[in-house]
Amino acid sequence: MSTYRPPLTDLAFVLEHVVGYPGVARLPGYEHADLDTVVDLLEQCGDFMAKVVAPTNQPGDVEGARREPDGSVVTPAPFKEAYRQYVDAGWGSVPFPEEFGGGAFPWSVNLAIQEMTASANMAFALCPLLTQGAIDALLHYGDAEQKQRYLPKMISGEWTGTMNLTEPQAGSDVGALATRAVPNGDGTFAITGQKIFITYGEHDLAEQIVHLVLARTPGAPAGTRGISCFIVPKFLVNVDGSLGEHNPVTCLSIEHKLGIHGSPTCVLSYEGATGYLIGEENLGMRIMFVMMNSARLSVGTQGLAIGERAYQQALDFAQDRRQGLAIGAEGKDSAIIEHPDVRRLLMTQRAYLAALRRMMLFNAVQMDHASHEQDERAVARAVEIVGLLTPICKSFGTDLGTELTSLALQVYGGMGFIEETGAAQHYRDVRITPIYEGTNGIQAADLVGRKLGVRGGASVMEFIATMREVEAELAQAGDEFDLIRMELGRQFDALETATAWMLATGSTDPDSALSGSTPYLRMWGLCVGGWLLARSALAGPATGDAEMAETQLVLARFYAEQLLPQCAGLLGAATAGSRDLFALDPGRLAGALRRG
């Protein structure tokens, strides 16, 4: 099995030449995060992930996490030392405020770190990822005392955090949750209920776990309007900051899952546990979305990350494995990388991964502008772009992550189906990502139902117009860019047509718009990826590296010619409406399976 090689050259190129990171470094508060400093930081991080975290990936999968009879959870043996070193190195603290011990770096830098961490070991990476989401919520809505009590040790990684949303009867319908929060009379609440699918809800990597729990107070409105958010620590925290008695939170079981075996996914029972209200009552959904929106981009990045790890291993295998004789070759056999269809598999992975990395980092750069720009109009526009791109990045990133790990397994042939090669683990691990943090169907509904109508559709049309500016740049760049320009133009036309249909249909026939939302979102992902790869091809010569410039041109051309045309092919599905989706009742859907 090959080792993990962090894509540092591409990360540095994308930050400098494609997504506009130098502009982020000029924002107030980020003066210390100049490009050279960031590249050096990422090189150190990549070295750490490759040497310390990546070797734990397959052993952690084989050993898995386990629950002991007393309710405690033991993580795979290699995780403990790796996590200790992760905390000592401070990698989880990079994007958070200095006043709480953070490095105050931009979120775009942190997203690059998240990619490398998840490539090294997704099951391991989930623990700091969920902690960062809980930190973000406390930074936005916690009071001064809560911030001082919890944030320093959560940011350092000494304490970890969770998000407790899902319940057995509710699933994705958060408004149906039933966990109760009853006032104790002293400002605290007694939290009672059961939560499922809680990532790292119990573990042995840190001494304290800070649960953020959604629950209902007495008399709260029904549905999502009546949800509040509470801090429920595993151990109560004394006035001096030391840990006190165990809060009555019990891990009833951990799930036996398809993948990410090293990550304990817990069923937690809250039995009158002491909780502390965050913000005001009934603000739980607003607080949840602070966690969720950041996490959605991070999960999209997980799709990229595991796809990258799987691609690297498939590439190495294709160079080592000899079978058949390539056309024009001599000898008794050739490395399978010389066969055209294997090249197709590898180039498809490489081009899609390049597109995804650019999309994720572009989105993160817009997040940095949204949080640090001084001009109100610039902030408002960045917020709109983040709102538009987040469901696209989450869905396109995780759908492709699943597809690309499958292509990587295909490169191995039969050996990919054998666990010892490691290819199957990536396929198993990545499959949860289209489900995490709101299924991809929910993301598509969010795109069509919420994001498309911003400013009456003007916001989304402005973004399409911004993407189309690259056509003129390509026309001026020379004949070798013509194919990219022409294909992008055709696909932008298709996206505009679908968008006009969605805007016209959504208000009068929302079922029809929602019925086409998933293929419509895919059209967006394909176009945004093609746009950013075209920008990469245009920027290649500025590096002064002829090989780099050629690589960017080839990737953009391959994507435009062989992958991007799917966009127009999806136009019919996006605009077909709901008639045939609902034409057959469940009995008729059973078809030949129906009893006579």
Active-site residue numbers? 437
Both tokens assigned to 139: 């930074």
Gap between the Cα atoms of 201 and 260, Å rounded: 15
Q: Are 215 and 177 in contact (CB under 8 A)?
A: yes
The residues near 457 (Cβ < 8 Å, ≥ 6 apart) are 499, 503
Both tokens assigned to 63: 């050993």
Dmax over CA atoms of the chain, in Å, equals: 84
Query: 312, 303, 521, 309: which is closest to 403 by C-alpha?
Result: 303
Both tokens assigned to 26: 């000029």
CB atoms within 10 A of CB 518: 20
Gap between the Cα atoms of 122 and 307, Å rounded: 11
- Burial code of 268-283, b = ≥16 C-beta within 10 A, e = fewer? bbbeebbbbbbbebbe
The amino acid present at 274, given as its one-letter code, is T
DSSP state of 212: E
Query: What is the enclosing helix (H) or strand (E) of 264?
Result: none
Gap between the Cα atoms of 375 and 106, Å rounded: 18
Gap between the Cα atoms of 16 and 575, Å rounded: 38
Burial of 85 per CB tally in 10 Å (0-12, 13-18, 19+): middle
CB atoms within 10 A of CB 585: 8
Query: 130, 119, 117: which is closest to 161 by C-alpha?
Result: 130
Q: Which residue do the tokens 């911030």 mark?
A: 147
Q: Which long-range contacts (CB under 8 A, 24 or more apart) does 150-155 make?
A: 150/210, 150/231, 150/233, 150/237, 151/96, 151/100, 151/101, 152/100, 152/101, 153/208, 154/210, 155/92, 155/93, 155/96, 155/100, 155/101, 155/102
Between the alpha carbon of residue 79 and those of residues 22, 76, 550, 589, the distances in Å are: 36, 6, 40, 47
Query: What is the enclosing helix (H) or strand (E) of 325?
Result: none
The residues near 516 (Cβ < 8 Å, ≥ 6 apart) are 448, 498, 502, 573, 574, 575, 576, 577
